[in-house]
Chain A
Amino acid sequence: MKQDLAISVSKLTKRFGAFTAVNEITFDVKQGEIFGFLGANGAGKTTAMRMLCGLSFPTSGEATVAGFDLFRDAEKIKKNIGYMSQRFSLYEDLTIRENIRFYGGIYGLTDQQIKTKTDFMVGQLHLQDQINKLVKSLPLGWKQKLSFSVAMLHQPKIVFLDEPTGGVDPVTRREFWTLIYEAAQNGTTVFVTTHYMDEAEYCDRVSIMVDGRIDALDTPIELKRKFNAPSMAEVFVQLARKAQRGE
């Protein structure tokens, strides 16, 4: 595998019985890249992402993530990736500080590292007053930013974000993308799914999934040129309209 590739996927497939959720997708993601993973609901994005995170066994194909084989070394991959799922998955009945300590601890951070990280995160997210409050009392936007920071806690090489900004207001979305850019600048590869086409424009490269296949993959500018469309939204609609399967 080439050194500068964070993710390399070849003909990766996932079948549930007769249903092929992900159908022979092939793509590479370069290190430090912000890779937009687009597709309509039910196109297979989340399934593909869950495979890459080692949460779901691929049916066939090949893939390396962070330099490790997805079939043989899934547990080694897990040390090197961060994951933020579609569902909010911090503990609502723990405080911000306790959540950070828990996830940091699981990734093997020392008490000193956890303390440094906590201080840094709290400063970055302006959560000084909330640090000892239960997470369930936070508004959604803050929860999402917190989730992202927790996923970045152990400085992973790659971070997978599954619709991180779903249901979040535009201001918070902008702030969220600032966090993403910061992470990418520090060398983290960002693999992100979204339904917001303005966010697709922020990505270095974008792939669009239709019915389990990747139908287009390029920079936003190239895609717009190829499809002769003024915006990513137009590109998306042209492709997604061809979808055979519903939600």
Chain B
Amino acid sequence: MRVLRILLEKEFRQIFRDPAILRIIFLMPIIQLIVMPLAADYTVKNVKLCVVDYDHSSYSQKLISKITATDYFQLVDYTDSYEKALKYVENDQADLVLQIPSSFEKQVVKEDKATLFMALNAINGVKANLGGAYLRYIIGDFNREVRLEWLQLPRFSPQPTIQISALNWFNPTMNYQIFMVPGILVILVTMVGAFLTALNIVKEKEIGTIEQINVTPIKKYQFILGKLLPFWVLGLMILTIGLVISRIIYGINPVGSILTIYVFAAVYLLAVLGMGLLVSTFANSQQQAMLLSFFIMMIFILLGGLYTSIDSMPEWAQIFTKFNPVAYFIEVMRMVVLKGSTLFDIRVHLATVFLFAIVLNSFAVWNYRKRS
């Protein structure tokens, strides 16, 4: 054990002596957690709208002012030429064109029926989709108002109306940040764990000190533990910083126990560090290690359920996420933070990630060669 202590002593000295690493460890979580959830919001705002009004009636005016009253839309131009409106779309100055036909008011009043035309700039699919949906909703609302004003309602509605009232469990206000912040925290812990471990060991390969270590009677497991433990501690430190930030800035108080999060994180980090270790046994330079880790991380993060729901992925991708530790931690974080899940509830996740840790580390230890 003395050898391990000597190794840890040296590792911590080097980490805390390197200002670049310290900056990554402390500034990265702060900046990512403060900036990302605020900037990367799913709610689409500022949809640039161009209205082509052939009607110029009081109703068309009412509709337009109803639309622009929300902060979802920004009126780019009010014109009476569809060609001109399309130019805006082509130049990417407008996302949406709403065309009001010439006899709009008359049709609504006399014929109880009107058609509006909507053209979407679908280069940004998400924006087009959501912008279109908002607009449809507002027009639907406008429609109801008009009918109320003009139609004599029969005592009993000829068509039954079904009202839906919804209640959002676990995140009542559908707060997007409560959903994102725990996920981003997972990414942070993962990146620091995997990247720093891989880079640290490969750096020793690059400068040649690993050879000096390999020529000593040190045991493989001692060397590897000496490398993993410091980053395990750092990973938990980052998690702590992240939890504090999400509490102070976003007021996120996990419904479940903090201890549950730490127990899972402790096991999860072993898996992540094992992955970093494995990368380091394959890479011979820091560039290689960086690119390889980055490649793996990209896949894990994009298929980890942070940005897109795993349930809506194609089946093959869903099968893949079963082998993605990041997906497990994101799910566990959301379960514990939002729903208050206990260790018992996440036992399957915990066991699976533990298995990952064993497999990845065994593979890495096996692949680490003191002798080539």
B208–A107 CB distance below 8 A: no
Number of interface residues of B (CB under 8 A): 25
B-contacting 9-mer, from A72-80, A179-187, A211-219: A72-80
Smallest CB separation, B286 vs chain A (Å):
15
B215–A105 CB distance below 8 A: no
CA distance A89 to B207 in the complex (A): 7
Q: How far is the CA of A106 from the CA of B215 in the complex (A)?
A: 11
- State which residues 95-139 of A face B: CB under 8 Å: 98, 101-103, 105-108
Q: Is A78 in contact with B215, judged by CB distance below 8 angstroms? A: yes
Q: Is A192 an interface residue (CB 8 A)?
A: no
Within 8 A of A (CB), among B195-226: 207-209, 211-218
Instruction: Find out whether the CB atom of B13 lies under 8 angstroms from the CB atom of A81.
Output: no
**Given the complex, which residues of B lie within 8 Å of A67, measured CB to CB?**
none
Interface presence of A57 (CB below 8 A):
yes
- Is A85 on the interface with B (CB-CB < 8 A)? yes
How would residues 49 to 87 of chain A score, 1 for a CB under 8 Å from any chain B CB and 0 otherwise?
A: 000011111000000000000000011101101010101
Interface contact A94-B372, CB-CB below 8 Å: no
B84 within 8 A of A: no
Candidates B2, B14, B208, B217; contact of A78 at CB < 8 Å: B217
Summarize B's interface: helix, strand, loop or mixed: helix
A54 to B369, CA, bound (A): 11
The answer to whether residues A106 and B6 also contact, given A57-B371, A79-B217, A93-B18 and a CB cut-off of 8 A, is yes
Chain B min CB distance to A44 (Å):
16
Partner of A55, one of B14, B18, B214: B214
Residues of A in contact (CB 8 Å), total 29
Interface residue ranges, B against A (CB under 8 Å): 2-3, 5-7, 9-10, 13-14, 17-18, 207-209, 211-218, 370-372
* A-B pairs with beta carbons under 8 Å apart, 21 shown: A55-B211, A56-B371, A75-B217, A76-B217, A78-B216, A79-B217, A81-B215, A83-B212, A83-B215, A85-B211, A85-B212, A87-B207, A88-B208, A89-B211, A90-B212, A91-B14, A93-B14, A94-B10, A94-B14, A103-B212, A105-B9
5 interchain residue pairs of minimum CB distance: A105-B6, A87-B208, A89-B212, A83-B215, A78-B217
